[in-house]
Amino acid sequence: LSILSISAPSTGVVTTDWMQNSTSVTVILYTRQKGLDARQVSTSIDGKLFHIRIYSDNWLRCYDYQIHLVEAVEPSCKVTVSLTTGKVELLLRKIQTALHWHKLGDLEDVSQGFQPLSQAPLFFRRAVLTRKLRVNHNVFLFTLTFPTGQDFYVPVGWHVQLKLSLEDGSALIRSYTPIVFDLPSCKTTECPSKTEASTSLHFLIKIYSAGPFTSALDRLAEGNSSIEVSFPTGNFLESQLENKNVIAIAAGTGITPLVRIAIDILRNNRRVTLVFFNRTQEDIIWKEEFRELELKYPDKFKVWHVLSEPDEEWLGLRGRISKSILATTILGGDCPDDGSNFACVCGPSDFILETLRLLDSAGYTNETVHAFSG
């Protein structure tokens, strides 16, 4: 192995090294971030451009680092992280084996060190729309698949930005939370294969005929349409859920960030009460799957459906979010206010505001509620 210092070995925050043998190149970043794990390192290889993003401080800060490599590499990167020192090793495979590299390439310290995620540039990676499946009359499951060479993890409760380029040269950007397929069955949505799951992200998206983004998305053809996807962003801390039971209050597609949280909580043997607001029965996403989840976890999972525009046959709860609906569903005997509950809220902005107001008067605080908004 030859070990060489690269032209700009220190960025002030992260120092770097690299080494090579006949088949591979290893880039080493000394981040000094103790407790870092490999999921916090996202990489992207596009030709000779190697982009690395490292998240730290509970994912709330990030560091972007780009290398314009002198030679092309295979589009895959093995990431190894030392938990105790924060040393990150990135193993790249040479395309032209036996070719000796005289230097690694040109470094670009994009963010000049770790910076708050809110100030980080929005980097997008190209993905292809590989699948579009109908879930109900206006909600579809979109699967976006990345070319090999992309390595990323979306933390629980976090979202990405999707960017669509239009024919007139403009672009539209919207935020969406990827969904998981860990419900007991995926009857209305065919489960993707395990391999697909590691290279793809899946989004449940409602098509609004008057919505410029979703109607443009709806026109894309499966198989060859490209969409750009940002690095994950968000402010939800999974640690807030430690030892808590969860009250999930969702309206419409606002269910998307809450499903993964609910599944994680149930797996950890804690309770989830879901209050799910929709207009009509036809609008309820995954009604059967939630029923199966109740059967699978009879003492741990309970779903209440509330319809704002029910037909006459509907025997369940009716109306919009209100004090009396919360009293019936969560503030009554099912979820005693013993400090063990954490509430997660997502839906239209007025729905969120009203729900937060009601939870506030029921004694919930910033420490015991998270609203997924924006």
Nearest CA to 279 among 348, 185, 370, 212?
Answer: 348
Identify residues 300-319 at the interface with ligand NAD (CB under 6 A): 308
Name the residue nearer to ligand NAD (CB basis): 15 or 373.
373
Q: Does 59 bind ligand NAD (CB under 6 A)?
A: no
Q: Does 350 bind ligand NAD (CB under 6 A)?
A: yes
Q: Which of 56, 256, 329, 341 binds ligand NAD (CB under 6 A)?
A: 256
Q: Does 258 bind ligand NAD (CB under 6 A)?
A: no
Q: Does 252 bind ligand NAD (CB under 6 A)?
A: yes
Q: Does 273 bind ligand NAD (CB under 6 A)?
A: no
Q: Which of 346, 356, 358, 359 binds ligand NAD (CB under 6 A)?
A: 346
CA–CA gap between residue 63 and residue 68 (Å, rounded): 17
Q: Which of 270, 348, 362, 368 binds ligand NAD (CB under 6 A)?
A: 348
Q: Which of 257, 264, 310, 331 binds ligand NAD (CB under 6 A)?
A: 257
Partners of 277 in beta bridges: 251, 306
Residue 235 CA: distances (Å) to CA of 145, 336, 354: 25, 27, 21
Name the residue nearer to ligand NAD (CB basis): 103 or 320.
320
Q: Does 158 bind ligand NAD (CB under 6 A)?
A: no
> Which 8-state DSSP code applies to residue 38?
G
Name the residue nearer to ligand NAD (CB basis): 350 or 360.
350
| Tokens linked to 133 | 């499946």
Partners of 162 in beta bridges: 174, 229
Q: Which of 321, 331, 343, 369 binds ligand NAD (CB under 6 A)?
A: 321
CA dihedral over 232, 351, 366, 240, signed as positive or negative: negative
CB atoms within 10 A of CB 187: 13
Helix (H) or strand (E) segment spanning residue 304: strand 301-307
Q: Does 354 bind ligand NAD (CB under 6 A)?
A: yes
Q: Does 143 bind ligand NAD (CB under 6 A)?
A: no
Q: Which of 14, 251, 259, 284 binds ligand NAD (CB under 6 A)?
A: 251
CA–CA gap between residue 297 and residue 280 (Å, rounded): 26
CA–CA gap between residue 275 and residue 255 (Å, rounded): 10
Contact 229, 124 (CB under 8 A): yes
What is the contact surface with ligand NAD in residues (CB under 6 A)?
159, 177, 206, 251-254, 256-257, 277-279, 283, 308, 320-321, 346-348, 350-351, 354, 372-374
